[in-house]
Chain A
Amino acid sequence: MLEVTGVSRSFGGVYAVRDVSLSVADGEVCGVIGPNGAGKSTLFNLITGHLAAEHGRISFLGHRVDRLAAHRRARLGMSIVFQAARVFRGMTVRENAMVGLHGCTRAGFVSAALRLPRHRRDEREIVAEADRALNRVGLAEWADQPADLLPIGQQRALQLARALCARPRLLLLDEPASGLRGNERERLATLIEELRASGLTILLIEHDVAFVTRLADRVVVLDLGQVIADGTPAEVRADPLVLAAYLGQAS
């Protein structure tokens, strides 16, 4: 489904990501872990289109996407949950989820300004679908509250609802567990497990090794911008290179 081949990106002559290749198969949960500064976020931004790759290619569902703008990649079916709380301020929880449906709906400025009948029908469907997504992540009762008042755990869940509204083929999660308390983390893990059970393909980029190994079918380990291991959680955990990277020793 997602094929990253030999991708590199440097900042001021220093490679943040160097010649990284990885692939995510249909229906798989793939985890990317690595110590701080390993290039996880850079890799994430290269895949989602918020950074341009200097070398290499990225294909998604058979399309070459590494030259496409972020919104085009989103419309192909990449949905994202960001690390930083990126709920939209000044909008209700429901409206936030409704934004996720942007790529799947058509109504433009003209039909909105004139309130054409088609617009009303679309709008009803958008609300229904947003409410379904909110229900799925357990935010239904907050639907009419301002989104910025939610605690951080629920903001993350809201991002997930927004991502689900976009009818994703691939769900990308950037450090979803960061900043969450134990019980919030547990709830998020349960949510991700439910999504996995429903057959959604997920790429999970995460600092917390335990969180990833619990959820992922396969784990890719990054260190200093390069892939140092790729395998099942058990294989990766036993890999001496990985242990060295995490313990900060030269092997």
Chain B
Amino acid sequence: MIRLVAGLLIAAVTLALPSVLDESALPVYILLGLAAMVTVGVSLLMGYAGQVSLGQGAFYAIGAYTAALLALNGVPPLAGLIAAPVVAALSALVIGTPLLRLRGHHLAFATLAMQLILLSLAGQLEFTGGDIGLQAIPQFSVGSWEAEGATTYAYLTWAGVALVMLVTHNVITSRPGRALRALATSETAAASSGIPVGRYKLTVFALSAAFAGLAGGIYCFYTGYVAPGSFPVLMSIQYIVMAVVGGLGTTWGAVIGASAITLLLQGLNTLSSLPGMPTYAPSVFSYAVYALVLIVVVLFLPQGLLPAVTDRLVRRRREPSVRTR
């Protein structure tokens, strides 16, 4: 009951926000939603498959370039938006097949390298528009209806977030999800229950890439241009910080982590642009905040924000019944 009410409340606020927020706040709201979409995937990958991807920004970029190239070549934007997560997931399958056999942080390094390679390729190749990138991407449209203004993109983005959360929730609470949760504890015991551990890890990697690809697809229609500079490596690190801060392996935690970090960065940005602040303040603040937040969370809330809060609530509710025994 409480969950239903909370869910409805959150949905209502999410739907109301685009019409309330002003010109400067709306882009933040959209970017927050896009980041949340990617972070849900990162949280799934880190929390269940025990793998770290330092290149989630690359799948975001793949999604963005895919949708942009298709739209610029006359393909309907809706088809482009559907192709974005598909192409991102396929790339993840190709990259992940050799890598997920390895243990440890091979995937992290390889995905980092992949993003760097991809960015420099996109900066060199002609069909991706080089360093200037792709411009004049048409507005998102379905049939004769065309998106106009940031409000529409805000709704599109948060519909994407809802979709990604629903898919994640459905997967986690079913047979493949149980298999994933099992292999997070013990790959040996999971394999002996008939779970193909390698294939499941690869599928989660592809799924997380698809989420990033979808976010990238929406992003390209929203901004109207994509360039290598839109996808810095710091972005990939940011998703990991968001996932860890929110709580790994929790769907809502990913959204909360994305919101917390985005708002924090926004606040610091405002602070550093106050008169009297040195010119290097914005960049110093944003880098420092990742490091500080990550250290503080790992030290004091190792499970992340959401599990820390829910644990406390659950404990409070259970305590009286323990005393009466």
**CB pairs A–B below 8 angstroms (25 shown):** A50-B188, A71-B192, A71-B194, A71-B196, A74-B194, A78-B192, A80-B192, A86-B188, A87-B185, A88-B189, A89-B185, A91-B178, A96-B182, A99-B193, A100-B193, A103-B194, A107-B176, A108-B175, A109-B171, A112-B170, A114-B170, A119-B174, A123-B175, A162-B193, A166-B193
B182 and A99: CB pair below 8 A? yes
Shortest A251–chain B CB gap in Å is 37
CA A157 to CA B76, docked complex, whole Å: 57
**Residues of B contacting A98 in the complex (Cβ-Cβ under 8 angstroms):** 175, 178
What is the bound-complex CA distance between A115 and B175, given in angstroms? 11
Report the nearest B residue to A126, measured CB to CB. Answer: B175
For residue A92, give the distance in angstroms from its CB to the closest CB of chain B.
Answer: 10
Contact between B176 and A112 (Cβ–Cβ < 8 Å)? yes
Q: Which of A50, A71, A109 contacts B207 (CB 8 A)?
A: A109
> Is A166 within 8 A of B194, CB to CB?
yes
Contacts of A126 in B (CB 8 A): 175
Check A88–B171 contact: CB distance below 8 A.
no
Q: Which of A87, A99, A166 contacts B178 (CB 8 A)?
A: A99
Contacts of B124 in A (CB 8 A): none
* 0/1 string, A191-220, CB within 8 A of B gives 1: 000000000000000000000000000000
**CB of B132 closer than 8 Å to a CB of A:** no
- The interface residues of chain B lying within 8 Å CB-to-CB of A123 are 174-175
Interface pair A88/B186, CB less than 8 Å apart: yes
A91–B186 CA distance with the chains assembled, in angstroms: 13
Residues of B within 8 A of A162 (CB): 193
* Most chain A beta-carbon contacts within 10 A, residue among B171, B178, B207: B178
**Is B191 an interface residue, CB under 8 A from the partner?**
yes
- CA separation between A91 and B197, bound complex, in Å? 18
Complex-state Cα separation, A88 to B196, whole angstroms = 16
**Closest 5 interchain pairs by CB?**
A103-B194, A112-B174, A86-B189, A70-B191, A74-B194
Contact A108 to B196, CB < 8 A, known contacts A71-B191, A88-B185: no
A75 within 8 A of B: yes
| B171 lies within 8 A of A91 (CB) | no
Q: Are A105 and B185 in contact (CB under 8 A)?
A: no
> Which residues of A have CB within 8 Å of B170?
112-115
User: Bound complex: CA of A98 vs CA of B194, how far in Å?
Assistant: 12
User: Are A90 and B181 neighbours in the complex by a CB distance under 8 Å?
Assistant: yes
| Known contacts A79-B192, A102-B194, then 8 further A-B pairs from the complex at CB < 8 Å, ordered by chain A residue | A74-B193, A95-B178, A99-B190, A99-B195, A108-B176, A113-B167, A126-B175, A166-B193
**Interface presence of A82 (CB below 8 A):** yes
| B203 interface contact, C-beta 8 A | yes
Chain B: number of interface residues, binned into ranges: 20 to 34
Q: Tell me the minimal C-beta distance from A110 to chain B in angstroms.
A: 9
**Pick from A48, A91, A104, A119: contact of B182, CB under 8 Å:** A91
Interface residues in chain B, defined as those with a beta carbon under 8 Å from any beta carbon in chain A: 167, 170-171, 174-179, 181-182, 184-186, 188-197, 203, 207, 249
- Is A26 at the interface (CB under 8 A from chain B)? no
- Let me know if A244 is at the binding interface, CB within 8 A: no
A243 lies within 8 A of chain B by Cβ: no
Q: Does A69 contact B (CB under 8 A)?
A: yes
Q: Which chain A residue has the least Cβ–Cβ distance from B186?
A: A86
Contacts of A82 in B (CB 8 A): 188-189, 192
Give CA–CA (A112, B191) in the complex, Å.
20
**Whole-angstrom distance between the alpha carbons of A126 and B194 in the complex?**
15
Question: In the complex, what's the smallest C-beta–C-beta distance from B165 to chain A, in angstroms?
Answer: 12
Residues of A within 8 A of B171 (CB): 109, 112-113
User: Which of B186, B191, B195: most chain A Cβ within 10 A?
Assistant: B191
CB-defined contacts of B191 to chain A, threshold 8 Å = 49-50, 69-71, 74
Question: A235 in the interface, Cβ–Cβ < 8 Å?
Answer: no
A48 contacts B192, C-beta separation under 8 Å? yes
Contacts of B174 in A (CB 8 A): 107, 112, 119, 123
Is the CB of A122 closer than 8 A to any CB of chain B?
Answer: yes
What residues of chain A lie closer than 8 Å to B175, measured between beta carbons? Answer: 98, 102, 105, 107-108, 112, 122-123, 126
Q: B197: which A residues are within 8 A, CB to CB?
A: 71
Specify which chain B residues have a CB less than 8 angstroms from the CB of A99 in the assembled complex: 178-179, 182, 190, 193, 195
The residues of B that contact A88 with a CB separation of less than 8 Å are 181-182, 184-186, 189-190
Closest to B188 in A: A50
Complex interface: chain A residues within 8 A of B179 (CB): 99, 102
| B178 touching A102, Cβ below 8 Å | yes
Encoded as 1 (CB less than 8 Å from any B CB) or 0, chain A from 61 to 78 comes to 000000001110011001
Known contacts A90-B185, A113-B167; is-contact A74 B192 (Cβ 8 Å): yes
- Which of B188, B192, B203 is the most central at the interface, judged by chain A CB atoms within 10 Å of its CB? B192
Instruction: Select from chain B the residue with minimum beta-carbon distance to A74.
Output: B194
CB under 8 Å from chain B, chain A span 150-188: 162, 166
Closest B-chain residue to A162, C-beta based? B193
Q: Tell me the smallest distance from the CB of B189 to a CB of chain A, in Å.
A: 4
The smallest C-beta distance from B113 to any residue of chain A, in angstroms, reads: 27
Give CA–CA (A80, B196) in the complex, Å: 16
Q: How far is the CB of A83 from chain B (nearest CB, A)?
A: 11
A117 to B243, CA, bound (A): 32
